[in-house]
Chain A
Amino acid sequence: MTISAYYYCFVGILKREMTRFLQQRSRFFSSLVRPLLWLAVFAAGFRSALGIAIIPPYETYISYEVYIAPGLIGIILLFNGMQSSLSMVYDREVGSMRVLLTSPIPRAYLLICKLLATSLVSLFQVYAFIAIARLFDITPPLMGYVYLLPAALLPALMLSALGLFLSSVIRQLENFAGVMNFIVFPMFFLSSALYPLWKMRESNEIIYQICALNPFTHGIELIRFALYGQFNLQAFSVCIATTLVFLALAIFGYDPKHGLLKRKAGGD
């Protein structure tokens, strides 16, 4: 296989993800409605209840809407990661996953392409959200929009890798309710998406420690700092490490010697 063959393969996978995404307009709108509802309704209610101190990367007092914007970007990425996982499980159930897995291109490369393609699709939604968020006075500096691109891509990769890994261990579509209850919601609520960690610490040290360990917290912090032109090394390192771990687990899971394919295969 030549380098160009690998390139055509990536473009093909990206094109398929984009085509499917554009065909599912309801998916696009629902992915925007979810964070916008949080912004318009939840934030309005919490604004008066929660006072936000001056914490990095902010240099002045900020409104609650400004505080939760990175968390809402995170929720877009989180739900997209789970959506891609769901579609992988669906593809496996209906059989179309076999087209991908019987390609002569190395499976690890195919999974990385799938991961990258899913993450790039997520970024479209992120930028659509952040554009609409300007109506709510969320106006980071202009360069923040540029820094957001790599900063959101990394958590997108991390969450898509998690999704990919989950798709390799989930047997049936029906098990996805469990994923929502035991992974998505805890990941979101036990993070810095809705409340700063110091506030969490004031109320409960254990929950604070869990939030601090949650890789989703670091994804959000990476985005939060990037939006204001700053680089958070700790968040970056945690995101990179977590992405690699989940990716390695997913590649292991899709290896016919070990993973679900072996357990899932029919007996005929």
Chain B
Amino acid sequence: MTSAALHISNLCYQYGERLALDKLNVDIAEGEFFGLLGPNGAGKTTLMSLLTRLLKPASGEINVFNYSLNTHGNQAMRQIGVVFQQSTLDLDLSVSQNLEYHGALHGLSPKEVSARIQQELARFELGDRQHDRVRDLNGGHRRRVELARALLHRPKLLLLDEASSGLDIDSRANLNAHVRTLCKTEGIAALWTTHLIEELHDQDNILILNKGKCLAQGEAKTLQEQHKAKDLPALFSQLTRSVV
């Protein structure tokens, strides 16, 4: 039996009078690649901010590997690796300096960090760029550095907030494939938020979010059958009533 990597129940958040998330429920198992699909303004980034403690929920519960984010936030955060929509790398530092800083913020010793940096950079074929300033890297490489950084402290849950935005088609596909491989080979759970339908597969468990509300949740293929949609874009369009 697999334990829940992420369990969200009745999560609500509002900006003033505007409800940004309304009673959201999500369960992600270990090793699962979970897709959160929603148009701009759906509440995806708000959810990410709540999952990373940048915001505090109005109500509801978030548990990461049975650690409540509310009562055991620091233990929960140790299990999480994050890639934000907006790049969070320090452009003036080198690739390895950015990773060293992240390692220090997770309380890792310099020796341990140094060894892990070599491993992660080798995994993402960035070994020869470690002394380059991030400013000198292209968008695809920067994203790979962010993913390497997110994995540095060996998290069991990866949160990726529109991580492929701004990348070309090949880089996007590569990043998506990398994350799927991590789920399969290392048992890492991933929450992949996107508004790009082609990044999700029929076998993926997905949640379609619009204006803070969950419109549908389950295996993408099953949802298509339930709603008599010919494919995922048609399902998304049907549920959100937006042009795809």
Contact = CB atoms under 8 A, between A and B. Distances in A.
A12 B103 contact: yes
A104 interface: yes
A122 B91 CA distance: 23
B240 to A, nearest CB: 15
Interface in B37-77: 40-46, 49, 52-56, 74-77
Contacts of A102: 52-54, 77, 80, 82
Contact of B46 (A4, A103, A256, A267): A267
A268 B54 contact: no
A262 B56 contact: yes
A242 to B, nearest CB: 28
B107 A267 contact: no
A9 B107 contact: yes
A131 interface: no
A19 interface: yes
B105 A110 contact: yes
B217 interface: no
A9 B88 contact: no
Interface stretch (A92-100, A189-197, A199-207): A92-100
Main DSSP-derived SS at the A contact region: helix
B100 A15 contact: yes
Given A6-B107, A11-B104, A103-B106, A98 B46 contact: no
- Among A12, A101, A266, chain B packs the most CB atoms within 10 A around the CB of A12
Nearest to A261: B54
Interface in B128-185: none
Given A5-B107, A95-B87, A268 B77 contact: no
B126 interface: no
Query: How many interface residues does chain A have, given as a range?
Result: 35 or more
A262 B20 CA distance: 13
Contact of B40 (A5, A105, A268): A268
A177 interface: no
A249 B45 CA distance: 27
Given A99-B102, A104-B75, A265-B55, A8 B43 contact: no
B89 interface: yes
Given A8-B108, A11-B104, A265 B46 contact: yes
A35 B235 CA distance: 66
A142 interface: no
B33 to A, nearest CB: 21
Contacts of B77: 102-104
B193 to A, nearest CB: 10
B34 interface: no
A104 B78 contact: yes
Given A95-B84, A268-B45, A8 B55 contact: no
A96 to B, nearest CB: 5
A249 B86 CA distance: 28
A247 B40 CA distance: 37
Interface in B1-27: 15, 18, 20
B202 interface: no
A178 interface: no
Contacts of A9: 104-107
Contacts of A106: 74
Nearest to A2: B107
B105 A100 contact: yes
Interface string B99-136: 01111111111100000000000000000000000000
21 contacts: A1-B74, A4-B107, A9-B106, A12-B103, A16-B90, A94-B87, A94-B91, A95-B86, A98-B52, A101-B53, A101-B54, A103-B106, A104-B77, A105-B107, A106-B74, A262-B55, A265-B15, A265-B49, A266-B46, A268-B40, A268-B42
Interface of A: 1-2, 4-6, 8-9, 11-13, 15-16, 19-20, 23, 94-106, 110, 256-257, 261-262, 265-268
Given A8-B104, A13-B104, A256-B56, 14 more contacts: A4-B107, A8-B107, A12-B100, A12-B103, A12-B105, A15-B100, A16-B90, A20-B90, A20-B93, A94-B91, A98-B88, A102-B77, A104-B74, A105-B106
